Chains A and B, each alone.
Chain A
Amino acid sequence: MSRAHRGAEPRDAMSRVVVVGGGPAGMAAARAAAKAGVDVVLIDAGAKLGGQYHRQDSRAGTERFGLPPGVEHLAESVVWALEPVPGGHRVHLRTGPADAPGRTGRSIDTPALVLATGAYDQVLPFPGWELPGVYTAGAAQALAKGQGVRVGERVLLAGTGPFLLPVARSLLAVGAEVAAVLEAGNPARWLARPAGLLAGAGKLGELAGHTAALARHRVPYRTRSAVVAAHGTDRVEAVTTTRLRPDWTEVPGSRRRLDVDAVCIGYGFTPQLELAVAAGCALDGGFVTVDSAQQTSVPGVLAAGELTGIGGAELAAAEGEVAGASAARRLGARPAPPVRALRAVRRGRRFAAALAAAHPVRAGWHGRLREDTLICRCEEVRYGELRDAVREREAYGGRALKLVTRAGLGLCQGRICGRVVAELTGELTGEPGQSAAFARRPIAAPIRLGELAESPSAHREPGAGPPRVAE
């Protein structure tokens, strides 16, 4: 049994700020706390800093980001459990190659934990979305920027939101042909929100750059359009697209078949909530509630970035700076109020509100689900099974539904289907579904049974369902 798991070692005992996540928010938090004179541990799953937005080519022998002395950066490290201890939290982590047995275990106690775990793409199911060759937009981006790999030779992008544009550009940069970008919404709605537009002036310049790149490559950009099916036996060979009405139901007779070898989908983002939920942080609308100092409802736990709302890298960095200063204060430092960052947060949130208003997900997509369309990819639960469970067996609550259908019980633990199951259940029952119920994951990251066995201090919630461990 390793000594690290009998409790925190002296240097890991309540003396440092712990930041989880090495993206824009986490890096800014670590820098701000270090600037205030406090020691910091930054834990990140990646081999290099940057997170998803600033993803670096992991094959290059360079590191684009620097952290000040006083920040210990733990790369290739995952936090798999949190437990409350007097005066703060104990953070259990593993360092080493992803999903390998025998990674190094460590536990760190901290009075100030900054969660900056980010978000991942939301995908809405459609017939054939489980075929190899269907990717999230983020996957195409990560593979292009991080690995120099194009997911297909002829690729279709579909979904909603401005993120589709930089992904299209990354695909072009690695030599893919982008057949089209289909935006389900109508971004002309931006014009209805001048305050948000002004707040995002910098962003609009960035978007204009993407649009120009698409125009140069003659990539069609179609609004009010979507993918309704992917075709192929063992991989994607073609897709069917359609035009949409404002409520996202189909315009009859507008279906078109398009030969592509990859399709990338992104309908906005879902926050990576498990650590915030494990800590007991209050949520609102699926995001972590924070005050103006980025403090969550749990003393000693701060949150920054996409966890608190989807607003992009600039806002995330500003929130991170505020959170880092607040965290340093909990360790007795007295940094000057981060006035510029606080202003940037207010401005960024106006932009985020305008963004959310311009790219709502409309319920019309439900109509494209067929009896046999997969909803939960892991457990291969089909729409018909889910609907029958709700209607005939009155399995309303997230937990009851999980047990009856197994939706959300697979390897990803509902990370991909949780929001979709909640939305569909809500529609079927007429009551709002609780997607946060799917973020209750006592084991926050996969660890192997052997690793769990040597970690006796990890806290397990009774009745919270079986922990998901590899092996």
Chain B
Amino acid sequence: MKVRIEGREHEAVPGQTVAGVLLGAGMVSWRTTRGGGRPRGVFCGIGVCFDCLVVVNGIPDVRACQRLVRDGDDIRMQHGAELPS
């Protein structure tokens, strides 16, 4: 199956998490903090810390380590606090 990361198509397999796909694509961060605008990616990896938030199909605040990808998912970086598009 295929997903889009920042508009570019990437291969993915069922059972991969969004974090698994992003790390596999060589990314380590995909969010900036609301206050300092600093980069963040995975930290706890098990859904506790909320550092790995990402925008999936226009919905922000999705924990990349918890969400399993689906065919056609549109994954975008999250800049600070975002509202759903």
| A interface residues, Cβ below 8 angstroms from B | 45, 47, 52, 57-61, 76, 97-101, 120-121, 130, 132-136, 138-143, 146-149, 151, 234-235, 272, 377-380, 410-412, 415-416, 446, 470-471
Contacts and interface: CB of A to CB of B under 8 A. Distances in A.
A52 B45 CA distance: 10
A135 B20 contact: no
B36 interface: yes
A378 B23 CA distance: 21
A99 B67 contact: yes
Given A151-B42, A411-B50, A446-B61, 19 more contacts: A45-B66, A58-B68, A98-B62, A99-B59, A99-B61, A99-B66, A132-B39, A134-B43, A135-B44, A138-B46, A140-B45, A141-B45, A142-B46, A143-B19, A147-B16, A149-B20, A377-B49, A412-B51, A416-B43
B36 A142 contact: no
A58 B40 contact: no
B44 A138 contact: yes
B7 interface: no
B33 A416 contact: no
Interface string B58-81: 011111011110100000000000
A416 B61 CA distance: 18
A411 B20 CA distance: 22
Q: Binding site of A, secondary structure by majority: helix, strand, loop or mixed?
A: loop
A121 B44 contact: yes
A130 B44 contact: no
B59 to A, nearest CB: 6
Nearest to A139: B45
A101 B68 contact: no
Contacts of B3: none
Q: Which among A60, A99, A141 has the highest number of chain B CB atoms within 10 Å?
A: A99
B16 A98 contact: no
A412 B49 contact: yes
A140 B38 CA distance: 22
Q: How large is the interface on B (under 10, 10 to 19, 20 to 34, 35 or more residues)?
A: 35 or more
A416 B15 contact: no
Contacts of A130: 38, 40
B62 A47 contact: no
Given A139-B43, A143-B19, A415-B48, A59 B28 contact: no
A143 B61 CA distance: 20
Nearest to B12: A59
Contact of B47 (A45, A97, A410): A45
Contacts of A146: 17, 20
Given A101-B59, A235-B28, A120 B16 contact: no
21 contacts: A57-B15, A58-B17, A58-B68, A59-B15, A59-B16, A97-B68, A98-B47, A99-B62, A99-B66, A132-B29, A132-B39, A135-B44, A139-B46, A142-B46, A143-B23, A148-B20, A378-B51, A415-B48, A446-B50, A470-B60, A471-B84
B69 to A, nearest CB: 10
A376 B59 CA distance: 25
B45 A135 contact: yes
Contacts of A99: 59, 61-63, 66-67
Contacts of B66: 45, 98-99
Q: Which among B41, B45, B84 has the highest number of chain A CB atoms within 10 Å?
A: B45
A140 B45 CA distance: 7
B16 to A, nearest CB: 6
A138 B44 CA distance: 7
A346 B29 CA distance: 44
Given A99-B61, A143-B19, A416 B44 contact: yes
B78 to A, nearest CB: 11
Contacts of B48: 120, 272, 412, 415-416
A120 B68 contact: no
B40 A133 contact: no
A234 B30 CA distance: 11
Contacts of B15: 47, 57-61
Contacts of A58: 15-17, 68
Given A47-B15, A59-B14, A132 B49 contact: no
Given A59-B15, A135-B42, A471-B84, A149 B23 contact: yes
Given A98-B63, A380-B33, A149 B24 contact: yes
